[in-house]
Structure 1
Amino acid sequence: MEKSAELEVPRSSLSKGEVEMGSSAPTLRENEGDNVGETIAPAGGNQTTDSTTGPSEVGAENTEYVTGYKLILLLFSVTTFFFLLMLDMSIISTAVPQITSDFHSLQDIGWYSGAYQLTSATLQPLTGKLYSRVSAKWVFLAFFFIFELGSLICAVSTSSVMFIVGRAVAGMGSSGLQNGALTIIGGALPLEKRPIYMGFVMAFGQLGLIVGPLIGGVFTQYVTWRWCFYINLPLGGLAGIFLAFLNVPDETIKPQVSLALLRKIIPDLDLIGFAIFAPASIMFLMALQFGSSEYPWNSATVIGLFVGAGVAFAIFLFWEHHEGDDAMIPFSMVRKRVVWVSSMQFTFLMVTVFVFAQFAPIYFQSVKGVGPSLSGVYMLPNILSGLIFVILAGALVTRLGYYIPFAALAGTGTAIAGGLFSTWDPDTTTAFWIGSQVLYGLRGFGVQAGLIALQNSLTPAQSAQGVAFLIFCQNFAAAVFSVVANTIFTQTLLKQIAMLAPSVDPASALAAGGSAAAVRALVPPGSPELGNVILAFANSFDTVCYMVIASSAVSFAVSWGMGWVDVRKKKEPGKGEA
């Protein structure tokens, strides 16, 4: 069969044996189902041509799938990548107290997660365009190489600044991994099989979140916290080798990767918008960080950064409006109520996750006096209960049809749990802090609500953009609120130390970090002020929990605007519809 005629023949007339998997130039074969006989428009509008594909091929639907042992290797690779990504988000939580003690940098704790989330959020809108134009496998591997490089920098860091740079580089790599893993699975499997395998990948990723604090605690206490980042290198390298040598089809036929292709797609990436948005974000976060530690809030430096961020953001909004649907963040999509409401519901609920995960180990180690590994064990009640409620919510929404009640219940339960967290003190009983965390697990009821709302309220073409915007909002909010939470914690600690333990230098308390040994070394052995020092750390943790209450309350309030859509009443696609 000639290439130039491939799309002129209806797919229903092609035999399954006419095209074999693993060919160097993917071609069409009969789809496994009723969706046949339709011509699929190229992604991005016009058809394109390159040296390896005919003018009618590029952008058309690709129905080449992966089966057998190749599918097993592909799933192993993708799930390993996803596991490491989720592991990296949680493994650092129990290591941070020791890292701050080693680098004498408690004031930088917000940057350890903030730098990661900022670079991830900033690049997130660009990754979707890259995946729609370039082979998903090679884009994914490029982002994972950057992620691995960042992990290596963190592992060999000799200062807090170097560690923050490593986290920023790793965040750049992570920006294309979560959506990239799902994109690869989407191209490798037919539509009816994707939910099963995507669910497997997501569940394996959740396992990374569960074991992360435990692994991080064990490494920190018995080996070194640096292994929290070294672990990404051998596992990721093995999975990367498998993926590199596999033929991974895309959902649409794309030209081969080349310098000519990269030069062609660069103008479509809205790099001008990115160049305006990135400094605006950086100036805003630097203003928050400097205002909390190095300069007064009314200093020229802090005010100048805020003003610069505001001006740059205003220019960014003007540019995005000018670009229309070609913008990095299309306004026509963001203006839809279901998009911005669902993004707010998901974002503010996830803010509570990031804030609690960042400061709960500080409480358990500095106040309760346990080591890193045991502090990871102490966080299991909220992690396990959260996972159970996520699975339960998926089953109940599928059966009952409506997601708003579960989103509202998640906001309510999380707000109540945040209120209980704010009462934790040095004498809090084990039963109370376990029960509080189990209640906090109710957040799992609302984690999927925003995604479900977008997928059931938008067209398939708009759904991808909506989900990308939602993830962008989550990452950017995590970067901002991590710094805000750190500002609240450090400023409260300075005041509490000065009031409760006058003999202790407040700056020394910040430099000590959050590990149990470092906090107790602030005063001589047997000092009557030790109890007050521990109380100061407990009170500082309590003030951070007010943010958990406020964020979950916002999530609860906006959840009612996502729209009452019965997900059981799905329009059955007719023959030929994608």
Structure 2
Amino acid sequence: MATSFEKSESNEALRERSEVLSDGDERDEAHYLSGWPLGFLMIALMASSFMLALDNTILATAIPEITSDFNSLNDIGWYGSAYLITQMSLLPTCGRIYTFLNVKYTYISALLIFEIGSIVCAASLNSVALIVGRAIAGGGAAVLVSGAVVIINYCVELKSRALLMGCLSAVYGTASVTGPLIGGVITDNKTLTWRFCFRINLPFGAIAIGLICWTLKKTPPAAKAGLPSKEKIKQLNLLGALFLVAATTCLLLALQWGGIVYHWSDSRVYGCLIGFILLVTVFICLQFRLKGNSTISLHIFQSRTMCAACGFMTFNQLAVVAQIYYWPIYLQSVRNTSARTSGLYTLPLIVSCTICTLSVGWIISCVGYYVPFMWSGAPVLATGSGLFLLITTHAPAWRWVLPQIISGIGYGLCTQIPLLSVQVVLEKADVPTGCVMVLFFQCLGGALATSISQNLFTDTLLRRLGGIDGLHPAAIVEAGARDFRNFIVSDHVLESVIEAFVKALRNVFILAMASAALALLASLMMEWRRLPRKKKGAPTPRGGV
């Protein structure tokens, strides 16, 4: 056990480190934006954030129409996986790109790549072209996701970052949840068709490119900008990125196939899992061997805050994505609402999450402490998930509005904290990589949520439907969340099928509640820190970069 003297000495060291961080910020304040330039920069980042989040979920209601046009029912999983594989697996490498290359031009190039991918998708004549376009867009998204955090880190003083990151989180969350509603409205329009789900990205990208070119007149040099080009390519470790792409592909294939397309005992499923384990092992060994040139700077995980932030983000995202994806199923299958109406009924979650995220960002900017919001957000999110378990077939409106509000508050309280915490504890050169790793685990949580939830939901639903006389379970599942009513004549059988949907959904909400509880456990590892205070008499930032 540490003595009082050792604790006092440790606290003094922390205070000295905070002062060093503050001094570093003061030296960098010549690069900080304020006033109108800062406002236009945030508009640019919010435009690209809205575009990325919308692209993640807008296809949810458009995919059935796409499969009808291309006769590609078996390719449904790839429309999401192609995007997710390239985004997840390239995130660590893309995080390192910003330590070598100009922040401004790297971000603009990524926007152009994402727009090219969107154009390929919108103009695709077959399913293969659409999948290729999604993969291209995912590669651009990997650079953009990490780029917004890096730009804020370079161009905004630390005290204001929580508020601005809260704005980005609010925009991202709003676009993610409203994506299915917007996709349904667009797809139902005979003039726009599902192709406009990709064309809608073009104006947002154009706005972002124009404003970034105007506001970032002179960007600060990257942390390792002085290295020779050959050394930069070497330190990007493209071989490591290749192994990570392969490992991610194997994992997502196993989770996508297991229990749905093939049995878990099928060699194609456990073969992918074995391949994932082997490839990850090779990837980790490669990181140790390359040391300074590794894709992931493993030394950043010596910080318990870094480990806690990654674990927290994984479980927190798993919990909220499970709710976002499966709550509309309750509305459409149990309450028999349209896709557009089910999107409107998710507004309580959207509004509560947005307001809370913005409020937390402002509060943290004022008080400096951020760890308590992780400790409070996770249990509130778990409570909201638990209240979903009380919903019945004919539950009144307040019974399903209240869980959404509570879940939205819980997620809004803590969603931005992991990214903010790593910026406080890591050295400046490691901040881009640290932020990218947190975002990587956020993507991983979302991927695990959809895969695990799908297995729980489908397995329970098939077992429940199998106990109903005169019913073919597979036909009901294939009919979809709404059209299964066309195959049922008897009201008694219909009530039994609806009840089976309710029981299957409860397992998904149990998963969300358990995941939020695990997020709370991860948050207990966080170091008690605060944002460095700005010293008195420090120079004020200029209005340009």
Tell me, yes or no, whether TM beats 0.5: yes
What is the distance in 2 between the residues matched to 1:186 and 1:253?
A: 12
Q: Which is worse superposed, 374-383 or 494-503?
A: 494-503
Structure 2 counterpart SS, 1:412:
helix
Query: Counterpart of 2:12?
Result: none
Specify which of 306, 313, 327 is matched with residue 294 of structure 2: 327
What is the distance in 2 between the residues matched to 1:106 and 1:509?
A: 16
Query: Counterpart of 2:504?
Result: 540
Query: Counterpart of 1:236?
Result: 205
What is the distance in 2 between the residues matched to 1:172 and 1:233?
A: 17
Deviation per residue, 1:169-196 (Å, 9 max, x gap): 3322211112223434555667788777
Shift of 1:123: 0.5
Query: Counterpart of 1:252?
Result: 221
What is the distance in 2 between the residues matched to 1:67 and 1:416?
A: 40
Q: Is 1:520 aligned with 2:489? A: no
Deviation per residue, 1:63-118 (Å, 9 max, x gap): 67889987776555443222212332343455567767888989877655454333
What is the distance in 1 between the residues matched to 2:75 and 2:403?
A: 28
Query: Are 1:417 and 1:437, in contact at CA under 8 Å, matched by a contact in 2?
Result: yes
Structure 1 counterpart SS, 2:467:
helix
What is the distance in 2 between the residues matched to 1:36 and 1:535?
A: 58
Report percent identity of matched pairs.
31
Shift of 1:216: 2.9
Query: Counterpart of 1:12?
Result: none
What is the distance in 2 between the residues matched to 1:391 and 1:194?
A: 12
Query: Counterpart of 2:101?
Result: 134
What is the distance in 2 between the residues matched to 1:220 and 1:366?
A: 20
Matched to 1:229, the amino acid is F
Structure 1 counterpart SS, 2:283:
helix
Q: Is 1:456 aligned with 2:424? A: yes
Query: Are 1:489 and 1:541, in contact at CA under 8 Å, matched by a contact in 2?
Result: yes
Shift of 1:263: 5.5
Larger RCO (CA within 8 A; separation ≥ 6): 2
Structure 1 residue ranges without an equivalent (≥5): 1-32, 39-60
Equivalence map 1:185-204=2 (5 Å): 203-204=170-171
Distance 1:477-1:37 versus aligned 2 partners, 3 A rule: closer
Equivalence map 1:329-408=2 (5 Å): 329-399=296-366, 401-408=368-375
Matched to 1:300, the amino acid is S
Shift of 1:564: 2.0
Distance 1:302-1:389 versus aligned 2 partners, 3 A rule: same
Specify which of 465, 468, 471 is matched with residue 497 of structure 1: 465
What is the distance in 2 between the residues matched to 1:353 and 1:112?
A: 22
Across the two proteins, how many residue pairs are aligned to each other? 516
Matched to 2:201, the amino acid is N
Shift of 1:471: 1.0
Query: Counterpart of 1:125?
Result: 92
What is the distance in 2 between the residues matched to 1:35 and 1:317?
A: 33
What is the distance in 2 between the residues matched to 1:329 and 1:66?
A: 30
Q: Which is worse superposed, 78-87 or 326-335?
A: 78-87
Query: Counterpart of 1:530?
Result: 494
What is the distance in 2 between the residues matched to 1:497 and 1:267?
A: 56
What is the distance in 2 between the residues matched to 1:396 and 1:37?
A: 22
Query: Are 1:501 and 1:532, in contact at CA under 8 Å, matched by a contact in 2?
Result: no
Query: Counterpart of 1:550?
Result: 514
What is the distance in 2 between the residues matched to 1:103 and 1:439?
A: 41
Matched to 2:437, the amino acid is F
Distance 1:378-1:279 versus aligned 2 partners, 3 A rule: same
- Root mean square deviation of aligned Cα: 3.8
What is the distance in 2 between the residues matched to 1:35 and 1:560?
A: 29
Query: Are 1:116 and 1:170, in contact at CA under 8 Å, matched by a contact in 2?
Result: yes
Specify which of 235, 256, 270 is matched with residue 303 of structure 1: 270
What is the distance in 1 between the residues matched to 2:261 and 2:180?
A: 31
Query: Are 1:217 and 1:372, in contact at CA under 8 Å, matched by a contact in 2?
Result: yes
Distance 1:169-1:521 versus aligned 2 partners, 3 A rule: farther
Structure 1 counterpart SS, 2:391:
coil
Structure 2 counterpart SS, 1:292:
coil
Query: Are 1:411 and 1:552, in contact at CA under 8 Å, matched by a contact in 2?
Result: yes
Distance 1:362-1:217 versus aligned 2 partners, 3 A rule: same
Equivalence map 1:152-171=2 (5 Å): 152-155=119-122, 165-171=132-138
Query: Counterpart of 2:16?
Result: none
What is the distance in 1 between the residues matched to 2:277 and 2:381?
A: 32
Structure 2 counterpart SS, 1:177:
helix
Deviation per residue, 1:200-256 (Å, 9 max, x gap): 555554553464344234224445444332211243245435656886432217999
Deviation per residue, 1:245-279 (Å, 9 max, x gap): 886432217999xxx98665322211121122221
Specify which of 51, 55, 61 is matched with residue 84 of structure 1: 51
Equivalence map 1:78-117=2 (5 Å): 78-93=45-60, 95=62, 113-117=80-84
Query: Are 2:54 and 2:176, in contact at CA under 8 Å, matched by a contact in 1?
Result: yes
Structure 1 counterpart SS, 2:525:
coil
Matched to 1:144, the amino acid is L
Q: Which is worse superposed, 284-293 or 243-252?
A: 243-252
Q: Is 1:430 aligned with 2:397? A: yes
Distance 1:105-1:413 versus aligned 2 partners, 3 A rule: farther
Matched to 1:390, the amino acid is T
Q: Which is worse superposed, 316-325 or 190-199?
A: 190-199
Query: Counterpart of 1:562?
Result: 526
Query: Are 1:97 and 1:513, in contact at CA under 8 Å, matched by a contact in 2?
Result: no
Distance 1:101-1:570 versus aligned 2 partners, 3 A rule: farther
Q: Which is worse superposed, 142-151 or 67-76?
A: 67-76
Query: Are 1:98 and 1:513, in contact at CA under 8 Å, matched by a contact in 2?
Result: no
Equivalence map 1:204-283=2 (5 Å): 204-209=171-176, 211-223=178-190, 224-237=193-206, 239-240=208-209, 243=212, 248-252=217-221, 265-283=232-250
Matched to 1:541, the amino acid is L
| TM-score, normalised relative to structure 2 | 0.82
Distance 1:349-1:143 versus aligned 2 partners, 3 A rule: same
Distance 1:440-1:100 versus aligned 2 partners, 3 A rule: farther
Query: Counterpart of 1:57?
Result: none
Query: Counterpart of 1:484?
Result: 452
Matched to 1:342, the amino acid is A
What is the distance in 2 between the residues matched to 1:380 and 1:497?
A: 31
What is the distance in 2 between the residues matched to 1:36 and 1:550?
A: 40
Shift of 1:398: 4.5
What is the distance in 2 between the residues matched to 1:444 and 1:404?
A: 14
Query: Are 1:94 and 1:373, in contact at CA under 8 Å, matched by a contact in 2?
Result: no
What is the distance in 1 between the residues matched to 2:26 and 2:399?
A: 62
Specify which of 445, 460, 469 is matched with residue 437 of structure 2: 469
Query: Counterpart of 1:148?
Result: 115
What is the distance in 2 between the residues matched to 1:266 and 1:534?
A: 56
Distance 1:410-1:536 versus aligned 2 partners, 3 A rule: same
Distance 1:76-1:292 versus aligned 2 partners, 3 A rule: same
Report which of the two structures shows the higher radius of gyration computed on alpha carbons: 1
Query: Are 2:99 and 2:429, in contact at CA under 8 Å, matched by a contact in 1?
Result: no
Query: Counterpart of 1:3?
Result: none
What is the distance in 2 between the residues matched to 1:99 and 1:359?
A: 21
Q: Which is worse superposed, 154-163 or 294-303?
A: 154-163
What is the distance in 1 between the residues matched to 2:451 and 2:463?
A: 18
Structure 1 counterpart SS, 2:143:
coil
